Amino acid sequence: MTSTTPTTAPRRSLSWRVVDIVVASVVAVACSVIFLAWIPLSAGPTTLLKPFLPGVQGILNGPWLIAGPLAGLIVRKPGAAVYAEFVAAAIELLVLPAYGASVLLSGVVQGLGAELVFAVLAYRAFGPVVALLSGAAAGLAETFLDVPVYYGGGTAEFWLVYGITTIVSGAVIGLVCAPLVRAIAATGVLDRFASGRAARRAV
């Protein structure tokens, strides 16, 4: 006798596996290299932009916001964005301790901003629009930290321009993460992740 009991798809687990920790850590290390490289690379453009319009240098903040959206898109588990951004910031601090513990605070804040978008969507949506929103949210969160900590003496115009440019920069870097995940998945290293399988099916 054939059973008529309907079958259900296995429930998606949001629990972390060892491989999730390993890959999120690798993402964090790679992003810390980007952070460290961007410090000297952005110095010249920042100097040029500052006189152009107060606060417009926020457009250069994107590379420091990449870890959260990228890890969130790859690992697809609660806390991935915060974890990767914090670990990347911690590595940056170890290499350049002169920047102080505020680097760690930035990492947490940026990661929480990126994480919020994935959390609101219950970790079920990971397309380009989500990537863009995650990066933009990281930029918004960083703005709320930078304005009182680093630019407390600025004008309202400065804060507005800095906030808008930082959010735009974050949105762009988030959008860049979407094809970056597909490129990484094409190598096969993400086959144990839903992100890798989804990216390869889309090809």
The domains of the chain are located at 18-192
CATH 1.10.1760, applies to 18-192 = yes
118-160 per-position pLDDT tens digit? 999 999 999 999 999 999 999 999 999 999 988 888 899 999 9
Between 191 and 26, the higher pLDDT residue: 26
Give, rounded to a whole angstrom, the gap between the first and last alpha carbons of the chain: 42
DSSP string, 67-128: HHHHHHHHH-STTHHHHHHHHHHHHHHHH-GGG-THHHHHHHHHHHHHHHHHHHTTT---SH
The predicted structure's pLDDT at residue 4: 46
Span 60-74, average pLDDT = 97
The predicted structure's pLDDT at residue 8: 42
Locate 120 and state its tokens: 């609101």
Instruction: Tell me which residue of 150, 75, 144, 142 sits closest to 114, measured CA to CA.
Output: 142
Locate 179 and state its tokens: 């094809």
Instruction: Tell me which residue of 65, 72, 88, 59 sits closest to 20, measured CA to CA.
Output: 72
Count of residues in the chain:
203
The predicted structure's pLDDT at residue 202: 60
